[in-house]
Amino acid sequence: MIAARRGNLVTLALLAPSLLSAILLLVIPILIVIAFSFAEQDTYGGAKFGFTLASYRELFQAIYLPIFLNSLQLAAVSTIVCLLVGYPIAYFIALRAGRHAGLLLALLLIPFWIDFIVRMSAWMVLLGRNGTINSALLGLGFIEQPIRMIGTYPAVLVGMLYAFLPTTVLPIHAALNGLDKRLLEAADDLGATPLQSFWRVTFPLSLPGVMAAILFVFVPAMGVYAIPVLLGGGKSIILGNLIVQLFLDFRNMPLGAAVSVVLLVISSGIIVCYMRVLRSVEEART
Amino acid sequence: MKNWRTLFASVSLVAIASGASAAELNIYAWSGEVPQEIVDDFAKETGITVTFDTYDSNETMMAKLSAGASGYDLIEPSQYTVQVLAKQGLLQELDHAKIPNIGNLGAPFKEVSYDPGQKWSVPYIWGTTGFAYNEDCVKTPPTSWKALWDPQYEGRIYMLDNMLAAYIAGLQVNGFDAGTTKPEEIEKATQSLIEQKKVLGGYNSTNYGDLLASGEACIVQGWNGSIAQVMVTNPKVKYVIPDEGGSMWIDGFAIPTSAKNVEEAYKFIDYIMRPDVAAKAADLSKSATVIDKAKALLPKETAGNAAIYPPEDKLMKADFILDVGDATKLYQDGWTKVKTAQ
């Protein structure tokens, strides 16, 4: 009894630093945001604490709907693009690269030592009218006029792919890396073609990784701020941009906070769904 | 042992000494308007340690101030912003006795409509909102906002990423006054700005000068100072105050209620109103000075640059945006519609 209590105390003491920082840096800020979302707004940008649903009521007006749809759409398309590009990379690194796997993974991660905005600015240089890609294509005679890339939707997707590729590759790689190779040999022995053994053995076993990748791309993609501005010319705003606009341009903290809360609810919803699906996948397997 | 003690004593002495004499000043100003050199000169002359941050919209600065904790001693709001901040009680009333150089203000800036008696702010520089083009791409010199709707420049037109600035073009292209409070006029302007999106490369209020100079953009809406800065390196960039009027603005210095280093803030205001300093600041930032005696000290190419000092008749036609009060909401809803339109 005493030993158990002491054990609990030790656990608590060991957890205290992380618990404390989680409360200070995560729980309290979120509570502040939630409190602001119920505050009242005056014309001059002051927020009066109180309890009103005015911000939420305003949020569900027609003008904000396109932003929600835009964000979901961009997040969905980015996720699909990331999976289509990331899966083959993860597959290659995990199952084909052999002793070079470590090097390839490192190469994938090294750019992330550089600041995000600097990397995005590099894309602006690459995709610009007088940029590297246009100069190369012009020089090789493939095009006569520079192609306009900055300020277009594909440029935004390129930025999203670049930003989220490692978070797609890593969980899929982890799932594939743990794959029992004997299963593939067994499939081979039983006469499965390579394609069959991929669809019936490799792919199902990599699903937890794929789902983690979807989660890691879809959720943060909705809150992305810089990519639509820098590469998309700020013409198609998503939730991340709306929050900035409401806080900084419109000085409407309650409404900005309400959008943040809604974003939080959507993200949490997706995470809950993910946990459910993951559990059923694992139960089906056992 | 003795050595350790001496070391400790001297370290704490240094700490105490630097703690006592460390006069500080935290400035928060428009990017590109207060040159770093001026800040450094001031720090050297006075021994005050200056922290210098910049913003690229009045709204961002106001958001930080109204959010409470700001830590700034000196800000540089535009005219309508002075009104809003004063109404919110976020500015200190200025003590003119602490700004002896206030007498150097040019005649038009001694009495300003947005701040009678210069109670809350003193003008620093002024300028215009218009547009600029790159001659490599735009062959016939445009004179109207309509050029920013011209499909032949599709994808190479940029608008300021700033609600009130974008609406200057949206309203004036329809023949309305910038800064109107009439709902139907704002609505019409919103429609024009939505229509414009088809030909836009994007919204940008940070590096639009570079976009234009590099040829990424053909034509950009802009503030004259930023354009004049890139004109120095690329003479093919031209600045235009549109026939519809454009707008004139005045940016000045004000001291927030929350300021802790008020004396230092006054010192800086007074310093930058000294004719030689004002001239240097105006020349480096390529902006128009409000100090008459400073204008006389400017190099010819700056004083004679029509992008910086436009002809009188152009200025007479320019709108001067004041606080739009409750109409702010109409602009904001309109701007959200513009930003979300596909």
Residue A154 touches chain B, beta carbons under 8 Å: no
B18/B54 same-domain check: yes
Q: Is residue A178 part of a domain?
A: yes
Q: Which of residues 34-53 of A touch B (CB under 8 A)?
A: 43-46
B46/B185 same-domain check: no
Q: Is residue A72 part of a domain?
A: yes
B258/B321 same-domain check: no
Q: Is residue A140 part of a domain?
A: yes
B284/B320 same-domain check: no
- Whose tokens are 């209590």? That residue is A5
Residue of chain B minimizing CA distance to A147: B155
Yes or no, beta carbons of B201 and A248 under 8 Å apart = no
Distance in Å, alpha carbon of A46 to nearest chain B alpha carbon: 6
Chain B CB contacts of A73 below 8 Å: none
Mutation target vs B (from A132, A250, A253; most B CBs, 10 A cutoff): A250
Yes or no, beta carbons of A237 and B62 under 8 Å apart = no
DSSP B202: E
| CATH number reported for the structural domain that contains residue A186 in this entry | 1.10.3720.10
Residues recorded for chain A: 286
Chain A CB contacts of B325 below 8 Å: 43
Q: How far from B114 is each of B111, B122, B248, B261, CA to CA, in Å?
A: 9, 11, 13, 26
Residue A54 touches chain B, beta carbons under 8 Å: no
B323/B178 same-domain check: yes
Yes or no, beta carbons of A245 and B156 under 8 Å apart = no
Those residues whose C-beta lies under 8 Å from the C-beta of residue A236, and which sit 6 or more positions away, are A70, A74, A153, A156, A228, B340, B342
pLDDT, one tens digit per residue, over B4-44 is 555 444 444 444 444 445 799 999 999 999 999 999 999 99
Q: Is residue A254 part of a domain?
A: yes
Q: Does residue A38 surpass a pLDDT of 50?
A: yes
What is the domain count for chain B?
A: 2
Residue of chain B minimizing CA distance to A148: B155
pLDDT above 70 as % of chain B: 93
Yes or no, beta carbons of A43 and B161 under 8 Å apart = no
pLDDT, one tens digit per residue, over B257-312 is 999 999 999 999 999 999 999 999 999 999 999 999 999 999 988 899 999 999 98
B329/B260 same-domain check: no
What is the domain count for chain A?
A: 1
Q: Is residue A161 part of a domain?
A: yes
Domain that holds residue B162: 128-248+314-340
B192/B323 same-domain check: yes
**H or E segment at B263?**
helix B262-272
B287/B191 same-domain check: no
What is residue A184's predicted lDDT score, i.e. its pLDDT?
Answer: 87
| CATH number reported for the structural domain that contains residue B147 in this entry | 3.40.190.10
Ordered strands of the B74-75 beta sheet: B49-55, B24-30, B74-75
B151/B105 same-domain check: no
How many residue contacts between A and B have a Cβ separation below 8 Å? 93
B226/B154 same-domain check: yes
pLDDT, one tens digit per residue, over A83-139 is 999 999 999 999 888 889 999 999 998 888 888 889 988 998 899 888 899 999 999
Distance in Å, alpha carbon of A61 to nearest chain B alpha carbon: 11
What is the predicted ipTM? 0.83
Q: How far from B26 is each of A180, B200, B265, B270, CA to CA, in Å?
A: 61, 38, 8, 16
B18/B78 same-domain check: yes
Residue of chain A minimizing CA distance to B67: A46
Domain that holds residue A233: 61-285
B215/B120 same-domain check: no
Chain B CB contacts of A46 below 8 Å: 66, 88
